[in-house]
Amino acid sequence: MNPNLIPVLDAAGLPGPPWLFHILLVFTFFLHLVFMNLTLGGTLLAAIAHFRGGGRRDDFRCVLSSRLMAINNYGISLTITTGIAPLLFIQLIYQPFFYTATILLAPIWLAMLLLLTVGYYAAYLYKFRGTPARGQGGGLWLSLSAVMFLLIAMIHVAVHLVHAQPERWGALADGAWRVLADPTYWPRLLHFVFAGIGFSALVTVWWAVRRVQEGSDVATNTEIAGWAWRWALWSTVLQVVDGFILLLLLPQAVLRGIMTGGLSTLGPLTAAILVGIGLLMMLSRATNPVDSPGLVTGTVAAMTLTIAVMSVTRHQVRALYLAPSTSASDFLVVPQWGNFVVFVLLLAAGLGTVAYMVRRVLQSPASGADAA
């Protein structure tokens, strides 16, 4: 690796101790992942359900599709909003690496804004010109939205791999598409896709079971719960398998760092594996989730915990990737505690607002077969 390719650290320094921003990066990225899973996985699952149901409102799978996209009316906005904070913290901690990666991949990085706009509008076109509004159709708009969000996920995985491997920058400067040949690229992407589908399916099951308990359209919601439960099970199976493949494909130095890092690295990884296996056991216990509402709620909680733990492991893997390039760098710390207090207050207010919105949606849902 040519160290001259790595830009110098920002002379302005960090506005606080590095450990604080590492914690904030992991926490805010976890929040982003929750809504990102609903956006990416929910749109993909909605497209599958739509076509499996023939694009007709009288099929329970199209009702499911409409519900998922109704959720995404909120989810897409919250995915974008919650993605701002982790993006800023990455720029603080890994500025020389992240900015260089986005420059090397500038065309597709900038294209992401166009993809996001198209995907967002396509989701609304499906709602107002497809099955939810007209009783049938809209599959083209739904498919377009799903493809756009999948392409955005591909771009983020590419940028992540490029910024974590500065030793490859010289080769990538001659052909940025070489990142697709990285052994871990496709397993990383699939890990996000399977997680998104599984999480979205579980949220769908939880909502359908809740509607059955309220006595609302029991037959349709029972079918929705059973169908989505099977998707949650098999996507989780695939995610666990893919996770082990990804672990084995990591560079030897990174894998060795995880295995010899003691409790700090093995703890989160072991917890993620155990929770993943626990998820499979919970999902395989029930064939009709409507009869086990407590199990459904527990499974959603376990999946959310898995996302949180994997956020920690992902951050640790990135640190191990970059260890050879960051070991000799020391941040200049120039504390700005006033700004930090303002950030914490605004973050708390934002989370409180989102919690209030979710509670209002749950307590006063819209009426109709396609209501979220």
C-beta separation of 210 from 67 below 8 A:
no
pLDDT at site 331? 77
Q: What is the pLDDT along the chain (372 residues), one digit of tens a residue?
A: 455 677 777 777 788 898 999 999 999 999 999 999 999 999 999 999 999 988 888 899 999 999 999 888 888 999 999 999 999 999 889 988 999 899 999 999 999 999 999 999 999 999 888 888 888 788 999 999 999 999 999 999 999 999 999 988 888 777 778 888 899 999 999 999 999 999 999 999 999 999 999 888 899 999 999 999 999 999 999 999 999 999 999 999 999 999 998 999 999 999 999 998 999 999 999 889 999 999 999 999 999 999 999 999 999 999 999 998 876 567 788 888 898 899 889 989 988 988 888 788 777 655 544 444
Q: Judge contact between 115 and 152, C-beta under 8 A.
A: yes
pLDDT at residue 13, as a whole number: 79
What is the biggest distance separating any 2 CA atoms in the chain, rounded to whole angstroms?
A: 66
Residue 284 is predicted with a pLDDT of 92
State how far Cα 232 lies from the chain centre: 15
pTM, two decimals, is 0.91
First to last CA, the chain: 52
Q: Cα separation of 217 and 208, whole Å?
A: 9
pLDDT of residue 297: 95
d(CA 157, CA 145): 19
The Cβ of residue 29 has, within 10 Å, a number of other Cβ atoms equal to 23
| Amino acid identity for residue 32 in this structure | H
pLDDT of residue 178: 84
Contact between 195 and 37 under an 8 Å Cβ cutoff? The reply is yes
What pLDDT, on a 0 to 100 scale, did the predictor assign at position 1?
A: 45
Q: Cα(264)–Cα(323) distance, rounded to whole angstroms?
A: 16
Query: CA 200: distance to chain centroid?
Result: 11
**DSSP state, 191?**
H
The enclosing H or E element of 361 equals: helix 337-363
